[in-house]
């Protein structure tokens, strides 16, 4: 959940590989992209978590995000809450498909970074693992080989609407999931 606009930043590749022939061809990809791009969901009234038994902490964090900076309109916490909910809905679809393609006893390793939205730290690695377990995968481990990553310097800068808590840091984890059956 990093707000990287994959469609825009890989546009030449999309044309070269035949996924797009004209600018409008990328519209469908923007809406089908994993995690969505913030601009595609920020104006929606409300995107909710749309899978069984979402982690309670995640539900609370998304509800909290919705209440932040309401005076900022589409740039408020509601837009970011929609973005987070879309991302975790896609995570659920991802782990369902992962469960389908993994052979029993085999593992998948997912590299994932946490996020800080409107000053709220979102531990995406923990939520992905909980979502995966609810979909029938086994969490083997979560390892954090990098305790800092690019972007750490900006989370405390004055360009942010809300500075992150001093204890918050961006990190990357490797989540190992195993198929049980």
Average pLDDT over residues 43-66: 94
The per-residue pLDDT of the chain, averaged, comes to 85
Q: What is the pLDDT of residue 157?
A: 44
> How much is the pLDDT for 149?
54
Q: What count of Cα atoms within 13 Å lies in the side-chain half-sphere of residue 107?
A: 12
Claim to verify: residue 24 and residue 106 sit in the same structural domain: no
Same domain, 136 and 146: yes
14 and 96 share one domain:
no
- Are both 113 and 98 inside the same structural domain? yes
- 43 and 18 within one domain: no
Range(s) of the domain holding residue 168: 34-179
* 48 shares its domain with 118: yes
In this structure, are 50 and 102 located in the same domain? yes
62-98 confidence digits (pLDDT tens): 999 999 998 998 888 889 999 999 999 999 999 999 9
Residue 130 and residue 66 share a domain:
yes
Q: 75 burial class (0-12, 13-18, 19+ CB within 10 angstroms)?
A: middle
| Pair 20, 40 in one domain | no
pLDDT digits (tens, 9 = 90+) for 131-151: 999 999 999 999 998 776 555
Q: Identify whether residues 159 and 97 lie together within a single domain.
A: yes
Q: Are 129 and 174 a contacting pair, CB within 8 Å?
A: no
Residues 23 and 39 in one domain: no
59 and 145 housed in the same domain: yes
The number of distinct structural domains making up the chain is 2
- CB 178: neighbour CB atoms within 10 A? 16
Beta bridge partners of 107: 178
Mean pLDDT across 123-129: 97
Distance CA 140, CA 106 (A): 11
């Amino acid at each position: 959940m990093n707000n990287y606009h994959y469609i825009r930043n890989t546009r030449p590749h999309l044309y070269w590989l035949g996924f797009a022939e004209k600018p409008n061809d990328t519209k469908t990809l923007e809406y089908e992209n994993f995690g969505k791009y913030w601009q595609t969901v920020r104006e929606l009234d409300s995107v909710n978590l749309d899978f069984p038994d979402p982690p309670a902490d995640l539900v609370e964090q998304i509800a909290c995000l919705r209440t932040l900076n309401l005076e900022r309109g589409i740039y408020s916490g509601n837009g970011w809450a929609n973005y987070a909910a879309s991302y975790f809905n896609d995570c659920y679809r991802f782990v369902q498909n992962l469960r389908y393609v993994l052979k029993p006893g085999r593992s998948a390793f997912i590299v994932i970074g946490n996020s800080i939205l409107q000053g709220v730290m979102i531990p995406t690695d923990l939520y992905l693992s909980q979502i995966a377990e609810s979909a029938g995968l086994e969490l083997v481990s979560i390892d954090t080989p990098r305790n800092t990553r690019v972007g750490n310097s900006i989370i405390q800068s004055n360009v942010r609407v809300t500075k992150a808590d001093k204890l918050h840091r961006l990190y990357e984890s490797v989540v190992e999931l195993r198929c049980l059956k």
